Structure 1
Amino acid sequence: MNAMNPYTLSLAVALALSPLLATAAAPVAADKAAPAVGAPRSTAPANVTPRAEDAQRVLPLEGAWNVRTFAGLQGRNGPIPAMAFVRTADLSRLTAADRDRLAAAGVKLDIDLRTGDEEQQSPDVLARDPRFDYQRISLMGTEKMDLGRMMTSFPDTLGEAYVQWLDSNKPQFLQVFQRIAAQQDGAVLYHCTAGKDRTGVISGILLDLAGVPRADIVHNYAVSAHYLEGQPKDSAMNAQMQALMQQHPDIARKMAGMGGTAPANMEMFLDALHAQYGGAQGFLKAVGLSDAEIHNLQVRLGQAG
């Protein structure tokens, strides 16, 4: 594995810090509809709170946060099957009852999008349960985060980080979506640490491929901060990062702006996805998925035909 360049390192550290920063921005009562592609983006940093229809997508677990399905989201050819996908945050604290509930809900595959460092700090409990197939694919394309090499060249927003991945992380996107396309039965669960950045980008691509309205894609991303409230922040890696930020206030100030799930982050990502690739289908072809694999994804999303 090649060493990370400083820019990739800064993004990796910011993502690992997500549990510390996710609730930094104050929530507002509701989000406004997202503008069309190319329209001016919102600059408000505030997170948003769920709407009534979001309740059908929540899968309550005792030991995990931000656990949601795509139930009720409408694609171009109808609703996405309720248990096609489960998106979530860290799964290291799952109880036996949680594992039983996921198995009963039909989850067969667990894709862990985290780095090796993150997995070692907080092992995924499902990896040791024979009822689930487990595969870890680091969407960042690295396995270690050398905190001592932290630089000050952070992106200004998480949205810029997401856009950067479209070009720099193609091999990892290919692995993730090929693995999903190969899964013939059951629900596919995927997660990172906070379930909002790497998980949010994978969700954005899937929902765009399904033809879900842009405003709903943005909202699905933006409510993550609400569902992360109460997530524990006591890992050894978080402790190291907190100490590092105390030593470098300039880095702390920069990274504080990268917390939460401001709608503008997903708006920026979708703008780039459409401007550069014509949308999710064009991007998936660009990273190397075959027409048959893309069709399999559309079948899982209930949008084939």
Structure 2
Amino acid sequence: MTSTSDDVRTDRWLRLDGTTNTRDLGGLPTTDGGVTAFGRVLRSDNLQTLSDEDVRRLLEDLRLSDVIDLRTTAEVLLEGRGPLRAVAEVTHRHLSLLPERGHHTDVFAVEEDEVPDLPADWAETVLPRQTTEADEVEPPAVRSYLGYLHHRPENVLAALRAIVASDGAAVVHCAAGKDRTGVVAMFCLAVAGVSDEEIVADYALTAEVIEALVAKLRRSPTYADDMTRRDVASHTPRAATMRRLLEILGERHGGPLGWLDEHGFGAAEQAALRAKLRD
């Protein structure tokens, strides 16, 4: 896909009216001298506030076919249906990376007209610190990411499989597009053959838009309290966080690909994902 003055893409960033942290996983060098392809996989913050023009551009210019939503059921129900939910041609998958609480486990099947009664502690899962005892020595963000892999490995794999199965471009998103989305993006890039340092740099790129991102989330009642209680610096992704996650995956599993292989996403599926991400 070539860039033009009217293109939605400026370099890897997608400049949309309704999002703050949307970018393409294309354009990154691989260790074998290749490059990841544009227009295959996007990573983003919440899509609830996309404008009509945003939707048109995503559908017509980028051929968006799949939305992979990593938020909790509570987040989705409280935020309401985004504009892409009305597009029949777009497949939506809800794959929370957090343990779901209560009886609402398939938000797109439920589709309530009103927000149902939710567990009193649902808010703890919005920006959670799920972890295991063995990882308590790690920094908070690293513990969170390891928690995703410990509690919901099946949904990490399901997100990758959804990308492989997508007919056009797939967008992976959560609320901010940096933590849950960052972990899925890490696996995508690792499978594509992108180096650890490039993966770390992509993760840290969200820092360029963090003030606008926090301001956006503060305008939503769903996230306002957490955004207000902690300062912008505490929400800013740091290269050391992703670097440490990659180190741990290397120590315990031989790297991201080893973790995938151990959890049933083997050589054939990795090859299919690699083909999706590269020309």
> What range is the shorter-chain TM-score in?
0.7 to 0.9
Corresponding position: 1:171 with 2:154: yes
When the two structures are aligned, how many residues end up with a matched partner? 240
Unaligned runs of 5+ in 2: 1-8, 102-117
Check conservation: 1:89, 1:192, Cα contact below 8 A: yes
TM-score norm. by structure 2 comes to: 0.77
Q: What are the residue-to-residue correspondences of 1:211-290 with 2, within 5 Å?
A: 211-231=193-213, 232=216, 233-241=218-226, 245=229, 258-290=234-266
| Identity over aligned pairs, percent | 28
1:85-106 Cα offsets, whole Å, 9 max, x none, are: 1100000000110001111212
Deviates more, 1:77-86 or 1:108-117: 77-86
**Residue type of the alignment partner of 2:36:** I
Deviations along 1:88-135, one digit per CA (max 9) or x if unpaired, are: 000000011000111121211110110111111223321221231111
The alpha carbon displacement at 1:227 in A equals: 2.3
User: Is the CA contact (8 Å cut-off) linking 2:129 and 2:140 kept in structure 1?
Assistant: no
The question of 1:206 aligning with 2:206 is answered: no
Secondary structure at 1:189's aligned position in 2? strand
Pick closer, same or farther for the CA change 1:146–1:103 going to 2, 3 Å. Answer: same
Deviates more, 1:107-116 or 1:205-214: 205-214
Distance 2:246 2:98 in 1: 19
| 2:115 match | none
Q: Within 5 Å, which residues of 2 pair with 1:1-305?
A: 56-77=11-32, 78-104=34-60, 105-123=62-80, 124-142=82-100, 146-147=120-121, 156-183=139-166, 185-231=167-213, 232=216, 233-241=218-226, 245=229, 258-302=234-278
- Displacement of 1:263 in angstroms is 0.8
| Separation in 2, partners of 1:147, 1:86 | 31
Q: What is the RMSD computed on CA atoms of the aligned residues? A: 2.8
Distance in 2 between residues matched to 1:131 and 1:166, nearest whole Å: 31
Q: Is the 8 A contact 1:163 1:268 kept in 2?
A: no
> Secondary structure of 1:98's partner?
helix
Question: Within 2, Cα distance between the matches of 1:219 and 1:236?
Answer: 31
Structure 1 pair 145–163 and aligned structure 2 pair: CA distance change class (3 A): farther
2:141 partner letter: L
TM-score relative to the length of structure 1:
0.71
Q: Comparing 283-292 with 197-206, which one deviates more in the overlay?
A: 283-292
